[in-house]
């Protein structure tokens, strides 16, 4: 974790174990802590997540979805997620909107 304090990046691409409208979660606390530190040390945050992980929560909340600048996923987002990302002006990228 101390080593991560010295790493600064512009773009942070990350995945998650699960997510719901309140946050992004990991099932492993060590991985969650690494992601929290990388959030602090980066300017733009890109979430890569498949649709099977929506509407579920896990033990470690890494951040809220309001802190994501773009989400890249395999299916169109459910309306409640789409509204939250659009309110934040986050980019939503799915295969359907890139055909």
Lookup: tokens for 99 = 């055909």
Q: Is the pLDDT of residue 99 over 60?
A: no
Q: Is the pLDDT of residue 61 over 90?
A: yes
Cα–Cα nearest to 91, from 53, 80, 77, 35: 77
Mean pLDDT of 38-50: 96
What pLDDT does residue 95 have?
Answer: 86
What pLDDT does residue 6 have?
Answer: 83
Cα–Cα nearest to 84, from 59, 62, 54: 54
The pTM of this model reads 0.88
């Amino acid at each position: 974790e101390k080593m991560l304090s010295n790493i600064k990046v512009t773009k942070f691409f990350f995945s998650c174990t699960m997510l719901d409208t309140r946050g992004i979660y990991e099932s492993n606390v060590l991985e969650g802590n690494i992601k929290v530190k990388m959030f602090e040390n980066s300017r733009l945050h890109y979430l890569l997540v498949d649709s099977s992980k929506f509407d579920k929560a896990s033990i470690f909340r890494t951040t809220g979805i309001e802190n994501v600048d773009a989400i890249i996923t395999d299916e169109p987002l459910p309306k409640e997620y789409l509204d939250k990302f659009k309110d934040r002006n986050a980019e939503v990228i799915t295969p359907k909107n890139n055909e």
